[in-house]
């Protein structure tokens, strides 16, 4: 048996080349990391800055009400509504949701009069929305360090 081996010539070689798989996975990771910040809902407003961290939640499930510096109210990105129509519109949006999923997030411009935000929150409460979140911009790193130094 000169030159015998364990390979009989009939069994397929089942080797998986992992390198191309890892390359594709990393490319997809980079693509999602680049596109994720672009997927924001609502109208562009100057958000107030806070030192708290972000709230966890799915971006595609959020109902976002934006209020720009003029006091104009938007549901989503383009749907301009009047304050008196807010309960009717928000009830229509929320009717298909479970009670636990009836959350509304408010993005209000930092230069907006506080009373305007409170009137929107009151209308939401009239509609049966009891879970309201306020969206703010993350703090600058330099501002966070200044707050930490003041605490010491």
Q: What is the pLDDT of residues 110-122, one digit of tens each?
A: 888 888 989 999 9
pLDDT, mean over the chain: 77
The pLDDT assigned to 122 comes to 92
Instruction: Give this prediction's pTM.
Output: 0.54
Query: 86: domain CATH number?
Result: 3.30.420.270
Residue 18 inside a domain? The answer is: no
The CA-based angle 51-47-45, given to 5 degrees, is 165
Do 120 and 63 touch, CB atoms closer than 8 A? no
User: Nearest to residue 109, comparing CAs of 72, 81, 79?
Assistant: 72
How many structural domains compose the chain?
1
Question: What distance in Å separates the CA atoms of residue 43 and residue 67, rounded to the nearest whole number?
Answer: 8
Q: Which residue has the higher pLDDT, 24 or 1?
A: 24
> What is the span of the domain harbouring residue 100?
59-134
Decide if pLDDT at 13 tops 80.
no
The pLDDT assigned to 142 comes to 56
Residue 109 inside a domain? The answer is: yes
User: Nearest to residue 109, comparing CAs of 81, 137, 86?
Assistant: 137
Q: Which residue has the higher pLDDT, 43 or 56?
A: 43
């Amino acid at each position: 048996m000169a030159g015998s081996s364990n390979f009989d010539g009939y069994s397929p070689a089942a080797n998986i080349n992992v390198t191309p798989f890892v390359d594709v996975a990393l490319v997809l990771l980079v693509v999602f990391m680049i596109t994720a910040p672009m997927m924001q809902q609502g109208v562009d407003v100057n958000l107030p800055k806070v030192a708290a961290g972000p709230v966890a939640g799915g971006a595609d499930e959020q109902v976002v009400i934006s209020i720009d510096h003029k006091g104009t109210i938007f549901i989503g990105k383009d749907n301009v509504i009047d304050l008196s129509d807010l309960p009717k519109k928000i009830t229509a949006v929320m009717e298909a949701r479970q009670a636990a999923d009836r959350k509304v997030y408010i993005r209000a411009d930092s230069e907006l009069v506080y009373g305007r935000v409170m009137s929107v929150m009151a209308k939401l409460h009239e509609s049966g929305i009891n879970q309201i979140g306020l969206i703010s911009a993350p703090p600058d790193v330099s501002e966070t360090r200044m707050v930490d130094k003041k605490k010491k």
